[in-house]
Amino acid sequence: MDLNYGSQYEDFKIEVQDFCKEWHGINFSDAAKTPMSQNFESNGKTIKRSEWQSILIEKGYTARSVPKEYGGYGGESDIIKNRIIATEFSNAKIPSAMGGQGIDMLVPTLLELGTEEQKKQYIKPTLRGEMIWCQGYSEPNAGSDLASLQTKGELIDGNWVINGQKIWTSTAQFSQMMFCLVRTEPDAQKHAGISYILIPMDTPGLEIRPLVDMTLKPGFNEVFFTDVTVPEGNIIGKRGEGWAVANATLGHERGALTDPNATMNRVNSLINRMKKETIDGKRLIDIPVYRDKLIAIQAKVTAFQSNSLRVLSSKINKGQDTKIAGMIQKLVGTELRHELEGFAVDIMGELGTLYEDSPNLRDGGSWQFLYMYYLGLIIGGGTSQIQKNIISERGLGMPREPKVQGN
Amino acid sequence: MYFGLSEDQIFFQENVSKFLEDQSNLDVIRKITEGEANEIQQEIHDGLLNLGLSSLLIPEQYGGLGLDLLFATAVSQSLGEGLGPIPFAGSYIMAPLAIMHGGNKEQKNNYLIKMSENSMRIGVGFSEYIGARDNANISINDNKISGRALFVIDAKDASHLMFSDKNGMIGIVESSSSGIEITELVAVDKTRNFLEVQLKDVDIDILELTSTSKEAIDKSIDAGRIILAADSLGASQALIDKAVEYSKERKQFNRVIGSFQAVKHMCAEMAADLEPCYALVWHAAHCFDNSPDESRLMACHAKSHVSEVSKTIGKKATEVHGGMGFTDLMGVHYWFKRIGVNRQTLGAPEVIREEAARIQNF
């Protein structure tokens, strides 16, 4: 066991810490205030979100291993440096780099499977936040069984003509582009009939309708396609290879949903809240029942944090077996976060239910918001039940779900 | 950066597992718990002593192996997994640590060398320090100890016993001293032994540094908790393995029951709950060895959290076995009971969580 990153990383850590000090307290002139933005302390310095992103790329604090010619930093991929950046930014409470489905999912996919032309065209504006992407995967009848999707694409006169419907499309209303799974080979076996197609959101025939979720914050959309026509070249990989292309990106998504350090930061915010909040004049932190539950959650989050260190270690040290430790992260991370946020609502009682711009709101209503939001994440990206199938089948070697004929 | 057990640790751990598999299978365990295999139990104990189990933590200058707690944690996992019917947490972890951190030079020389030679073994009675039941109380005055210790671990056949008063002052008595009255307890887990000890003006050798410092008692209890957590970790893994294996064999409705989602999901939940416990227990042991500031809290988290997880696994793994899980035939209950006793020893989860809150000045 050796938890030191090694002396070669000490200088880098100090460099990042200095950067964080320099930029501590910055605000974005063009960012909406959300329940999550309350974590950042302001010192009045203001900057545009895209300017911040450019600074981070220039320093190599994001897009680190993306080649320079595509607009990245052009450095070596270094998992420990990424970790140091994430940890220091989180500790210093300064905003991290832009994320989202374009940067986190599409860019890695393009780097792996895109043509040279596609890389040149899309990666740079995506990294700089000038081109925002949404993901067109799920459909009303294709959720957990995603590969049964039915949105149809026909190649007519050198164009893909697309008809059908997508759902759960986050950020569709802000996006310039969508990466979309479309059934292009209707006669092929279900997984082999799908292609991965890039669609500009302003294409005629594409209609976006907001799908309001329980948080009532802008979130999901439904997207309808009526003879939406895009050039033949807007495909990543070959016809019928879309399932494999999509699986390359789903891996990127699952890892991103549950940051244990962010969860531990929430535990610490909860502790601060419990020291301030009172019932009958008594601080919540002094009430045994609340103390007990708080420590139980803190222990779970500590275990989850340690688990992620072990997974990190296995990425550096080849041959270390942490198969199950990696597989459980989505399930454990989302369930744990939901439990934590829900407990925070409980300790505040009636006040915990306040929302939006209510008087007497605590911490911007973030506890209630995230309590609901994480219920969404428990379901999205492969439900907890799907995760349990994966763990039992691939982790424990139990029998796979029986296939229904024709599927 | 490397997070995990080292090759040496895994090698040693596997040796212990292999030894238990060969020498101490379920039939042997059953006989031992029925009190019909004292000699075999002694042979198992001796065999493990030959591997060095009693002197893992004792520094080399006193004849020990001078290893760290993470090493001992790896061993403890194997003992939990294989129901090791021997003393460990008390005699071979807590007692040497108390002496290493609380004894003066002479006391270290006097005790540690004999312990590493196995000519001396110490049972540990700290339950009154952690939380006294039945108004039991230990008082030490003028090198005499009086009182009652309700749950002394690893004490049967031990040559010496170690106690602490409420202030964390630790002393050692000879088990054969006059004024000691020993009562054997019957706990659900019969793979290990537990005694009640009454003391009346018994001569005691107080570990010198413990009259002014709590370091020895803290270190000893923290380590004991991590080791018991590791024992439950190993026991829980054994239960998951058994449940999964059984579910792949047992058929109902013309299908192996492991093909039903209800069963698969129970197994997945057990694995998802237990897997982070490995990292937590190892991390806690690593902090014990390397970063004392975090060590106390990590030990509390490890013991309380693993106890909760293990309890759930004890229940679910038994349920996966259906009616057979409830029988003595299958033997699932041995691990269930071992976990049950580990959970209460050195502080039940609620007791430890309150301590964790105080450690953080809440």
Please give the pLDDT value at position A300. 98
Same domain as B164, residue B75:
no
Percent of chain A, pLDDT > 70? 93
Instruction: Please determine, for residue A44, whether its predicted confidence score (pLDDT) is greater than 80.
Output: no
Centroid of chain to Cα B95? 12
What mean pLDDT is predicted for residues B98-104? 98
Residue B197 lies in a domain: yes
Please tell me if residue A332 touches chain B, with a CB cutoff of 8 Å.
yes
What mean pLDDT is predicted for residues B124-137? 95
CATH number at residue B206: 2.40.110.10
Percent of chain B, pLDDT > 70? 100
What mean pLDDT is predicted for residues A169-195? 96
Rounded Cα–Cα distance for residues A262 and B316 (Å): 31
Please give the residue of chain A at the shortest CA–CA distance from B257: A399
Same domain as B101, residue B22:
yes
- Phi/psi at A78 (5° precision): -140, 105
- The parent domain of residue B236 ranges over 215-359
For residue B6, the chain A residues in CB contact (below 8 A) are: 1
Instruction: Please determine, for residue A404, whether its predicted confidence score (pLDDT) is greater than 70.
Output: no
Residue among A291, A391, A393 minimizing CB distance to B362: A291
Please give the pLDDT value at position A134. 95
Residue B2 lies in a domain: no
**Are residues A299 and B2, on separate chains, in Cβ contact within 8 Å?**
no
What mean pLDDT is predicted for residues A9-28? 92
Same domain as B293, residue B223:
yes
Residue B146 lies in a domain: yes
List active site positions of A.
Answer: 253
- Residue A106 DSSP label: I
Rounded Cα–Cα distance for residues A108 and B338 (Å): 48
What mean pLDDT is predicted for residues A160-174? 95
Instruction: Please determine, for residue A253, whether its predicted confidence score (pLDDT) is greater than 60.
Output: no
Residues 203-242 of B with CB under 8 A from A: 240
Instruction: Please determine, for residue A35, whether its predicted confidence score (pLDDT) is greater than 80.
Output: no
**Are residues A303 and B4, on separate chains, in Cβ contact within 8 Å?**
no
Mean pLDDT estimate for chain A: 91
CB B240 within 8 A of CB B271: yes
Nearest CA among A129, A200, A142, A194 for reference residue A168 = A142
Q: Which residues contact A405 (CB under 8 A, 6 or more apart)?
A: none
Q: Which residues contact B35 (CB under 8 A, 6 or more apart)?
A: none
- Phi/psi at A216 (5° precision): 65, 10
Please tell me if residue A312 touches chain B, with a CB cutoff of 8 Å.
yes
pLDDT: which is higher, B269 or A45: B269
CA distance B348 to chain A (A): 12
Confidence of residue A46 (pLDDT cuts 50, 70, 90): confident
- Structural domains for chain A: 7-98 (no CATH), 129-240 (2.40.110.10), 257-395 (1.20.140.10)
Same domain as B137, residue B13:
no
Boundary of a domain, candidates B183, B211, B239? B211
A vs B: CB pairs below 8 A: 160
Same domain as B190, residue B94:
no
What mean pLDDT is predicted for residues A164-169? 96
Instruction: Please determine, for residue A249, whether its predicted confidence score (pLDDT) is greater than 80.
Output: no
Nearest CA among A363, A378, A387, A380 for reference residue A265 = A363
In sequence order, what are the beta bridge partners of A342? none
Residue among B258, B268, B283 minimizing CB distance to A306: B283
Please give the residue of chain A at the shortest CA–CA distance from B273: A332
Please give the pLDDT value at position A33. 54
Confidence of residue A38 (pLDDT cuts 50, 70, 90): very low
Cβ neighbourhood burial of B312 (10 Å; 0-12, 13-18, 19+): middle
Residues 244-283 of A with CB under 8 A from B: 271, 275
Please give the pLDDT value at position A405. 59
Residues 258-297 of B with CB under 8 A from A: 258-259, 261, 263-265, 267-269, 271-272, 275-280, 282-283, 286, 290
Same domain as B320, residue B228:
yes
- Token match 């030679």: residue? B117
Confidence of residue A27 (pLDDT cuts 50, 70, 90): confident
Least confident of A37-46, A347-356, B85-94: A37-46
Q: Which two tokens stand for residue B273?
A: 């709950």
Cα end-to-end distance, chain B, whole Å: 33
Same domain as B243, residue B203:
no
Contacts 24+ apart (CB under 8 A), B326-330: B328/B30
Confidence of residue B210 (pLDDT cuts 50, 70, 90): very high
For residue B278, the chain A residues in CB contact (below 8 A) are: 307, 310, 325
Same domain as B102, residue B67:
yes
pLDDT tens digits, residue range B2-16? 999 999 999 999 999
Please tell me if residue A298 touches chain B, with a CB cutoff of 8 Å.
yes
- Token match 């003879």: residue? A227
Helix, strand, coil percent values for chain B (each to nearest 5) = 60, 15, 25
For residue B247, the chain A residues in CB contact (below 8 A) are: 398
Which of B1, B255, B295, B360 to mutate to probe the A interface, most A CBs <10 Å? B1
Boundary of a domain, candidates B157, B177, B211? B211
Instruction: Please determine, for residue B74, whether its predicted confidence score (pLDDT) is greater than 50.
Output: yes
Please give the pLDDT value at position A244. 94
CB A163 within 8 A of CB A225: yes
CA distance A309 to chain B (A): 7
CA distance A305 to chain B (A): 8
Radius of gyration of chain A (CA): 23
Our count of domains for chain B comes to: 3
CA distance A85 to chain B (A): 16
Please give the pLDDT value at position A321. 84
Residues 65-104 of B with CB under 8 A from A: 70
**Are residues B354 and A304, on separate chains, in Cβ contact within 8 Å?**
no
Confidence of residue A42 (pLDDT cuts 50, 70, 90): low
CA distance B268 to chain A (A): 5
Contacts 24+ apart (CB under 8 A), B291-298: B295/B222, B296/B218, B296/B222, B296/B359, B297/B356, B297/B359, B297/B360, B298/A302
**Are residues A389 and B264, on separate chains, in Cβ contact within 8 Å?**
yes
**Are residues B1 and A6, on separate chains, in Cβ contact within 8 Å?**
yes
Confidence of residue A7 (pLDDT cuts 50, 70, 90): confident
pLDDT tens digits, residue range B171-197? 999 999 999 999 999 999 999 999 999
Instruction: Please determine, for residue A125, whether its predicted confidence score (pLDDT) is greater than 70.
Output: yes
Percent of chain A, pLDDT > 90? 75
For residue B265, the chain A residues in CB contact (below 8 A) are: 385, 388-389, 392
pLDDT tens digits, residue range A91-102? 888 888 988 889
Same domain as B266, residue B334:
yes
For residue A303, the chain B residues in CB contact (below 8 A) are: 276-277, 279-280, 301, 305
User: Angle formed by the axes of helices A329-348 and A260-276, to 10°?
Assistant: 10
Same domain as B226, residue B205:
no
Residue B1 lies in a domain: no
Residue among A275, A296, A302 minimizing CB distance to B353: A296
Instruction: Please determine, for residue A113, whether its predicted confidence score (pLDDT) is greater than 60.
Output: yes
Same domain as B350, residue B278:
yes
Q: Which residues contact B84 (CB under 8 A, 6 or more apart)?
A: B16, B20, B24, B44, B48, B78, B191
Which helix (H) or strand (E) element contains residue A72? Answer: none
CA distance B38 to chain A (A): 37
Please give the residue of chain A at the shortest CA–CA distance from B277: A303
Instruction: Please determine, for residue A34, whether its predicted confidence score (pLDDT) is greater than 90.
Output: no
- Phi/psi at A296 (5° precision): -60, -40
Instruction: Please determine, for residue A250, whether its predicted confidence score (pLDDT) is greater than 70.
Output: no
Instruction: Please determine, for residue A131, whether its predicted confidence score (pLDDT) is greater than 90.
Output: yes
Instruction: Please determine, for residue B97, whether its predicted confidence score (pLDDT) is greater than 50.
Output: yes
CATH number at residue B14: 1.10.540.10
Same domain as B344, residue B314:
yes
Boundary of a domain, candidates B149, B180, B211? B211
**Are residues A396 and B244, on separate chains, in Cβ contact within 8 Å?**
yes
What mean pLDDT is predicted for residues B250-276? 97
CA distance A120 to chain B (A): 36
Please tell me if residue A5 touches chain B, with a CB cutoff of 8 Å.
yes
Nearest CA among A23, A127, A138, A137 for reference residue A85 = A23
pLDDT: which is higher, A8 or B108: B108
CATH number at residue B246: 1.20.140.10
Dihedral of alpha carbons A48, A51, A55, A61, sign: positive
Q: What angle do CA A322, A324, A328 make, to 5 degrees?
A: 120
pLDDT tens digits, residue range A210-235? 999 999 987 899 999 999 999 999 99
pLDDT tens digits, residue range A265-322? 999 999 999 999 999 999 999 999 999 999 999 999 999 999 999 999 998 898 888 8
Residue B33 lies in a domain: yes
Confidence of residue A107 (pLDDT cuts 50, 70, 90): very high
Residue B52 lies in a domain: yes
Instruction: Please determine, for residue B145, whether its predicted confidence score (pLDDT) is greater than 50.
Output: yes
